Amino acid sequence: MDLAFTQDEEDFRRRLRAWLADTLPKLPDRPHPADWPGRRAYDCGWQRMLHDAGYAGLHWPEDAGGQGATPTQHLIFLEETERAGAPYVGAGFVGLLHAGPTIAAEGTPEQRARWLPPILRGDEVWCQGFSEPDAGSDLASLRTRAVRDGDAYVVSGSKIWTSHAEIADWCELLVRTAPVNADTPKHRGISWLAMPMDAPGVTVRPLRTLAGTAEFAEVFLDEVRVPVTHRVGEENDGWRVTMVTLSFERGTAFVGEVVACRRVLEALARTAKANGRWDDAVLRRRLGRLAAECAALWRLTQWNVSEAQRTGGVPGVGGSVFKLRFSQVRQELYDAAAEVLGADALDAGQEWVADRLSSLSYTIAAGTSQIQRNIVAERILGLPKGR
C-alpha cells in the first residue's frame, strides 16, 4: 500500500478544509448529551449539510448513492473533520456506518432505493436490534421469533442494548425464522429484517447508563407485522448478512474515533503541562505509550480500509484485531485522563469524565473482547474451535 498522498488527494484535502472552515461557524450550539431528540435534530442537520456539499456517503459506491471516493480520501475526510472539531456521526451511527453499508451490499435495488437516500440525507435514523437479554454477544442464540403469515412476518420477543431506539425510525432486526434442531443449527435459522419503529406492537423502554444518558433501550416486540419485502437477504440466511453488518461495525465504524483519541491525547498533554502533572515521568511515559498505540491503530485502520476496498468493499476479519485493541486503548486513554485531572476526575461536569464512564462499554459493544479473540484465533491464526 502506498501511503503517500497524490496531488488529487491533496486537492481534496484542501477543498474539504476550506469547506469546514466556512461551514462549522454556522452550526447551532450542541445540545446537552442527555437530550436525545435535540441530538437527533443536531446530528441529522449536520448530515444534511454534508449531503448538500457532496460529502455524504463519501466511501459508499456511487450506485448506492455514495460518492465513490477512494479509501485514502475517506481517511482524509475523517482526519480533517476530526481535526476541525466537526460533529461526530452521532445519531446516524447505525444507519450510516453499518445498516446502510449492509443494505448497499446485500439489498435489492428496491431496498437500496427506499432506505439509502434518507440515511444519506439525514432524514431517517436507524437503531440496532441484535442483542437479547439471554443471548448477549452470542447472537446465534437469539430467541426473537418471526412467523410467516402471508406477505408479512409476525415478530415477537425482546431486544436489549438497542442503541438509539428511542429516536429511531427503523431497526436492523435479527429474528429466528426457523427452529433450532438437529437439521438446522442455530446460526442457520436467522433472518435480517428492516423493522419500522412506529409499527403497532413495538415498545421502547430507555435504559439510563452509568454516564447518565439513555443511549440504549430495551425493545419489546408483541406480534409486530413486518412485510416480507423488508427482509434483506434470503430467509434463514441472516447469519451471513449479519457477518457483513458486523464486518462494517468492527472494521470501519470506529475509524473516526481513532482520530478523536489522538486529539484527546494531545489535549491531555496540554492540560498536564498546565496543571503540573507533566512533571510526573511515569505519566509522561504513559501518554507516550498511548501515542504510539494510537499511531499503530491508525496504521491498522489504513490497512483495513485499503484491504476492504481491494476485496470488494466489505471489511475482513482484520476488523476484529482493530476492535480488540481499540476498545482497550480507549479505556486506557480515559484512565490516563483521570490521572491528569486528579481530584477533578470525580467532578461529573469535567471534560473527559463522561467519556471515561462510557469507555467501559467498549470492550462489550460490537462483540465482546472474548468474541474478538475467538475470531482472531480461529479465522486468522487457524487455531481449532473451542468446545
Provide the pairing of β-strand 216-227 with 202-207: antiparallel
Q: Is there a contact between 372 and 320 (Cβ–Cβ < 8 Å)?
A: yes
C-alpha 47/C-alpha 44 separation (Å) is 5
339 an active-site residue? no
C-alpha 279/C-alpha 337 separation (Å) is 15
Closest to 263 in 3D by CA, of 236, 293, 294, 284: 294
Closest to 258 in 3D by CA, of 206, 297, 201, 303: 297
Q: Is there a contact between 191 and 231 (Cβ–Cβ < 8 Å)?
A: yes
Q: Which residues pair with 196 in a beta bridge?
A: 170
C-alpha 317/C-alpha 304 separation (Å) is 9
Q: Cα-flanking dihedrals φ and ψ of residue 362, to 5°?
A: -70, -25
C-alpha 324/C-alpha 367 separation (Å) is 9
C-alpha grid cell for residue 321?
A: 484485531
C-alpha 96/C-alpha 252 separation (Å) is 11
Q: Is there a contact between 326 and 297 (Cβ–Cβ < 8 Å)?
A: yes
Q: Cα-flanking dihedrals φ and ψ of residue 378, to 5°?
A: -85, -45
The one catalytic residue among 249, 307, 339, 378: 249
C-alpha 108/C-alpha 192 separation (Å) is 13
Query: Please, which residues have CB within 8 angstroms of residue 332's CB and are 6 or more apart in sequence?
Result: 290, 293
Name the E strands within the chain: 126-129, 145-149, 152-159, 170-176, 190-196, 202-207, 216-227, 231-232
Q: Cα-flanking dihedrals φ and ψ of residue 126, to 5°?
A: -115, 155
Residues recognised as catalytic: 249
